Structure 1
Amino acid sequence: MPMLKVRGEDFHIRIDGDERAPVLLLSNSLGTNLSMWDPQIPEWSKHFRVVRYDSRGHGLSPAPDKPYSIAMLADDALAILDTLGIDKAHWCGLSKGGMVGQWLATHHGDRLGRVVLANTAARMGPPELWDGRIDTVRKHGMSVLVQPTLERWFTPEFRDSAKETVAKVSEMLATTPPLGYANCCGAIRDMDQRETIRAVRNPVLVVIGARDPATPPATGYEMADAIPGAQRIELAAAHLSNLEQPEAFGRAVTDFLKG
């Protein structure tokens, strides 16, 4: 099922695992697509029915040029669940996907089971940073952002030793629809969930990259402290910790989701 009609729009999705297993919904970061989860799928699909999708503005999913919000992106996820006839799912989102997960856990916690928020933040400023990035990508496209983004997302030693993985992520970035990326940047710029996440009652695991310059460890600790009962784990990685530490990330998430 590569494309799914959701409220009149075609979303790119993929489903792995036994249809009788608990559902795990995955949400990608800014500038990637559903293939960012490839290293974890063989193990996770043994335990879960894994549903992943290209977020609005990314991959093969719709990328209309209009203002986006985190609430809009969360509504997309709910609509995908509704279209598939899924009442409840565990959640794992990284960076932007974690921001969407926070919104869902705050406003629709009954639709989620356990929630993994990886390399993310409840607020990510300053607004001027996002305005500059939006202006750049609208004028020049994605190519100018690829190298500086890779430098934030991976440690230097990983970039040197895992060139195939880095090349795949570079391709994801380069092929992200520029207008979709820009409008997702606007959604992140306008987000502030620092107080609202205090209402979350789902079991939550916050995954932190010890060397993450995009969402630094202090940001993850603050978010974990704000969510009642949240667990946290720190991995030796920069921003895309599921790719830099695939085994440790996958094991931590599996253990948490299985309780």
Structure 2
Amino acid sequence: MPFADLEDVQLHYRIDGDPDGPPVVFANALGTDLQLWDAMLPHLPAGLKLIRYDLRGHGLSSAPAAPYSMGALIRDAERLLELLDIRDCIFVGLSIGGMIAQGLAVKRLDQIRGLVLSNTAAKIGTAAKWQQRIETVNTAGLESIADEVMQRWFSRGFRTLPEMALWRSKLVQQSPVGYTGCCAAIAGTDFYTPTSGLRLPTLGIAGSEDGDTPPDLVRETIDLIPGSSFALMRKAGHLPCVEQPRDYATLLDTFLQKIGHYG
């Protein structure tokens, strides 16, 4: 169970696949951990180096005092990749992970040669909305928002399955400090201008039933990057890699082949 000691934070990470293969890095969504990708990774082709980590304040990573800035989250990813000597990776970020991906690509093009921006945007929600959520969690805990979050995360069909209870439990078990810290980072982020300056291969993925980052919001961000492509996963919510792991992996694989990342 490896940890990266980055002084102010300790990040839990995991490497699967071929240790000498072309790297693909995954950053999780708010309220989840690196297990977000568990069901999808087995459907990817052999020969890739698959790197996952828990965002600060999530999973087994440490939870420094809140609030966090998006700059801090980007530095976490930057320093982890430096520690692991990763360059020219494809960075797959979902939700807040996709915001980190955008910021890291602007800052360190040597580390990233392509982006997958999944269920994310250059700006998500309003500062007032995020502040209200922070206050609710600080007052009543994560349990108080869990049912509402599940409604936004998952499609109507998935919400009837027993598996949804696992994701609700995972959300409730996250560190409230880590959760609200990352809420503050999202609240303070507007990447429309820097993201519009990116010039690298980019795939955008949206879920047709996503209640957090609807398809039009995702597409608006993807359209900022010339030459980017966009895929809509029907009957999927905010975490399509959980609901439709095989189809999600197919989209990733097609993108990786298209830009010559392996093979």
Pairwise TM-score range, normalised by the shorter structure: over 0.9
Correspondence 1:15-164 to 2 at 5 A: 15-44=15-44, 46-160=46-160, 162-164=161-163
What is the number of residues matched between the two proteins?
Answer: 257
Structure 2 unpaired stretches of 5+: 259-263
CA contact (8 A) 1:17 1:45 kept: no
Q: CA contact under 8 A between 1:109 and 1:200: conserved in structure 2?
A: no
Q: In 2, Cα distance between the equivalents of 1:5 and 1:127?
A: 31
- The whole-number CA distance in structure 1 between the counterparts of 2:8 and 2:134 is 27
What is the TM-score of this pair, normalised by structure 1?
A: 0.95
- How far is the alpha carbon of 1:141 from its aligned partner? 1.5
Q: Whole-Å Cα distance in 2 between the matches of residues 7 and 51 of structure 1?
A: 21
Residue 224 (structure 2) pairs with residue 226 (structure 1): yes
- Give the Cα–Cα distance (whole angstroms) in 1 for the partners of residues 173 and 121 of structure 2: 25
Deviation per CA, 1:185-219, whole angstroms, max 9, x where unpaired?
A: 01001100112111111100000111212111111
Q: Which residue of 1 aligns with 2:165?
A: 167
- The Cα shift of 1:45 comes to 6.3
SS of residue paired to 1:183: helix
TM-fit CA distance, 1:8: 5.6
Q: Percent identity?
A: 38
How far did residue 157 of structure 1 move? 1.4
Paired residues of 2:56 and 2:73 also in contact (CA < 8 A): yes
Say if 2:119 and 2:213, in contact at 8 Å, map to a contact too: yes
1:5 Cα deviation from its structure 2 partner:
2.0
Shift of residue 168, structure 1, vs aligned partner: 2.1
Residue equivalent to 2:257: 258
Deviation at 1:6, TM superposition (A): 2.5
Cross-structure match for 2:200: 202
Q: Supply the RMSD in Å over aligned alpha carbons.
A: 1.3
C-alpha distance in 1 between matches for 2:45 and 2:171: 26
Q: Give CA deviations for 1:9-40 in whole Å, capped at 9, x if unaligned.
A: 32111110111100111000000000010012
Q: Which runs of 5+ in 1 are unaligned?
A: none
SS at match of 2:123: coil
Post-superposition Cα deviations, 1:124-173, rounded to whole Å, max 9, x if no partner, equal 1222110110001111221111111011100121111x322x12211220
Which residue in 2 is equivalent to 1:246?
245
Distance 1:171 1:15 in 2: 25
Letter in 1 for 2:12: H
SS where residue 13 of structure 2 aligns? strand
- Larger deviation, residues 223-232 vs 22-31: 223-232
Distance 1:32 1:188 in 2: 15
Distance between the aligned counterparts of 1:85 and 1:6, measured in 2?
A: 14
Aligned equivalents of 2:159, 2:218: Cα separation in 1 = 24
Change (3 A) 1:11 1:45: farther
In structure 2, give the amino acid aligned to 1:92: V
Give, in whole Å, the separation in 2 of the partners of 1:192 and 1:47.
Answer: 36
Secondary structure of residue in 2 paired with 1:19: coil
> Structure 1 residue 231: deviation in Å?
0.5
1:258 to partner: Cα distance: 2.3
- Alignment partner of 1:187 out of 185, 188, 191: 185
Change in CA separation of 1:45 and 1:179 when aligned onto 2, cut-off 3 Å:
farther
Q: 1:183 to 1:9 in 2, by over 3 A?
A: closer
* 2:38 match: secondary structure: helix
Asked if structure 2 preserves the Cα contact closer than 8 Å seen for 1:92 and 1:98, the reply is yes
* Cα separation, 2, equivalents of 1:4 and 1:195: 32
